[in-house]
Amino acid sequence: MPLLEVQGVSKSFSGIVALKDVELHLEEGEILGLVGPNGAGKSTLINIISGIYRPDRGRVTFMDRDITGMPPHRICSLGITRTFQNVETFPELTAIENVLIGALFGSGKASMHEAHERALEVLRFVGFPLDRLEERVKNLNVGELKKLQLARALATRPKLLLLDEVTTGLNPRESKDAVKMIRKIRDSGVTILMVEHIMRIIMGVSDRIVVLNYGEKIAEGTPGEVAGDERVVESYLGEAYSVEG
């Protein structure tokens, strides 16, 4: 039984088809890369799985339970956490306070003391600079913000983590570190659905890849299989990418 199953999901926004009959599944412990050009529907799919949007048609099943249309906080408490393409935090709160919020919600509800311990643990895990814990979030740089967002997500103790473009805005060195971090998170027992529009990054880290184009799934397979797929190459208009991360 897959951990997550998306069946026949469609979504339109005032006539614009964002997703059309999308099928996708995730096995426990894998990193699934969801890739596609701008506007392909990647974020919309994350928004549907995490409960931000309700699909027009289709079903989302998590651990054998129908979660279609459930509110985001319930989905989070069942063990699905997501990050946002545009880092969303509480700008006036400090770094540690932002992660505390994650620790106090989510699937592993905690007391204030436990939440604090857990917040520190995940901040260390993602390599957030510990001398910046009391800094207000609005003063953090992009790299620090991305780590903070990951820490806040992990503090909810997810079974499934949905990552929407975690490497966007990072320099090549930071991107490499982020990819290492994603593997480390998976190795700690979290299943990952990772969205990227840069093919090269997703190729190096994913066990399996699903490609969306104009809201439709056009390919699915190992990085090697997908890299050789004619429709994928076409949808990227010959953009160069390689299997090596």
Ligand X SMILES: Nc1ncnc2c1ncn2[C@@H]1O[C@H](COP(=O)(O)OP(=O)(O)OP(=O)(O)O)[C@@H](O)[C@H]1O
- d(CA 105, CA 102) in angstroms, rounded, equals 5
Residue 38 binding partner per list ligand X, Mg ion, none, with a CB distance cut-off of 5 to 8 Å that depends on partner kind:
ligand X
**Least distance to Mg ion, CB of residue 183, Å:** 22
- Binders of ligand X among residues 83 to 122 (CB under 6 A) are 85
**Least distance to Mg ion, CB of residue 237, Å:** 18
| Span interacting with Mg ion, options 51-59, 77-85, 101-109, 152-160, rule CB under 5 A | 77-85
Of 4, 6, 35, 36, the one binding ligand X by CB under 6 A: 36
- d(CA 126, CA 187) in angstroms, rounded, equals 13
Compute CA distances 121 → 55, 125, 179, 240, whole Å.
Answer: 36, 6, 20, 39
Compute CA distances 147 → 163, 206, 235, 244, whole Å.
Answer: 12, 20, 31, 24
Of 3, 44, 103, 177, the one binding ligand X by CB under 6 A: 44
217 binds ligand X (CB under 6 A): no
47 binds Mg ion (CB under 5 A): no
For 193: left if phi > 0, alpha if psi spans -120 to 50, otherwise beta; the answer is beta
Query: Which two tokens mark 15?
Result: 């006539």
Nearer to ligand X, 85 or 156 (CB): 85
| Span interacting with ligand X, options 38-46, 124-132, 148-156, 172-180, rule CB under 6 A | 38-46
**Least distance to ligand X, CB of residue 93, Å:** 26
Pairing verdict, β 191-196 and 216-221: unpaired
Nearer to ligand X, 84 or 128 (CB): 84
- Binders of ligand X among residues 133 to 172 (CB under 6 A) are none
Of 6, 20, 33, 43, the one binding Mg ion by CB under 5 A: 43
38 binds ligand X (CB under 6 A): yes
| Residues at the interface with ligand X (CB under 6 A) | 13, 16, 18, 36, 38-44, 85, 197
